[in-house]
Chains A and B, each alone.
Chain A
Amino acid sequence: QKEVEQNSGPLSVPEGAIASLNCTYSDRGSQSFFWYRQYSGKSPELIMSIYSNGDKEDGRFTAQLNKASQYVSLLIRDSQPSDSATYLCAVNMPLAGNQFYFGTGTSLTVIP
């Protein structure tokens, strides 16, 4: 089992729709969870962090965490073409020296 798993996609949604991106992780002791956005040919940039169970909202972005299910998700409301990118989930792994492991990313395309 991979440490951090994401559906690679591609995920396509129409402009204005909600995009839902999912991530599961293997280490039950993980405490820190991050979503990074990576445009094609660019480096990742942090868009959300979440540490507690529940929802965290920041503008059009909502991160959701369920530690019991070892599941973290990112919702993008009112999706825009500029949201088209690869979204990377990163999780700390206490069993691996507390290093941050990235998933392979989900490619999102927002269709105008």
Chain B
Amino acid sequence: EAGVAQSPRYKIIEKRQSVAFWCNPISGHATLYWYQQILGQGPKLLIQFQNNGVVDDSQLPKDRFSAERLKGVDSTLKIQPAKLEDSAVYLCASSFRATGELFFGEGSRLTVL
């Protein structure tokens, strides 16, 4: 069974530029999460989707971050404009149900200069 796919693996941009990350969850997993993990910290939930609806985006900085999950399958997370403090690994995870048993992708490492 294929795991959670993410791309790109690495991205370097300058502040105020934009970037987009893509995630394809495990087939059949209705719940999709985007987490931000800053070096030395635990993952922080940005947004949770159930199928193509948003369950929770309370910690998403909506002035610069946006995310969508069209057709309830793959998802895109966008940052525009990026700030230095956005440098982090962006982890996508999926689960069959919203039970906390998450399967993570390899992550997308963003460096903002």
**Pair from one complex:** yes
Q: Is the interface of B mostly helix, strand, loop or mixed?
A: loop
Chain B: number of interface residues, binned into ranges? 20 to 34
* Bound complex: CA A34 to CA B99 (Å): 10
Within 8 A of A (CB), among B81-113: 91, 98-107
Within 8 A of B (CB), among A43-65: 43-46, 49
* Bound complex: CA A100 to CA B99 (Å): 9
Q: A32-B99, A88-B43 are in contact. Are A43 and B104 (CB under 8 A)?
A: yes
Q: A49-B100, A90-B100 are in contact. Are A104 and B42 (CB under 8 A)?
A: yes
Chain A: number of interface residues, binned into ranges? 20 to 34
| B58 & A44 in contact (Cβ 8 Å cutoff) | no
Closest 8 CB pairs of A and B: A102-B42, A43-B104, A104-B42, A32-B100, A102-B43, A100-B100, A43-B107, A97-B56
- Name B's A-contacting residues (CB within 8 A): 35, 40-45, 48, 55-56, 58, 91, 98-107
A–B Cβ pairs within 8 angstroms, 11 of them? A4-B42, A36-B102, A43-B105, A43-B107, A44-B91, A46-B102, A46-B103, A97-B55, A101-B45, A102-B42, A104-B41
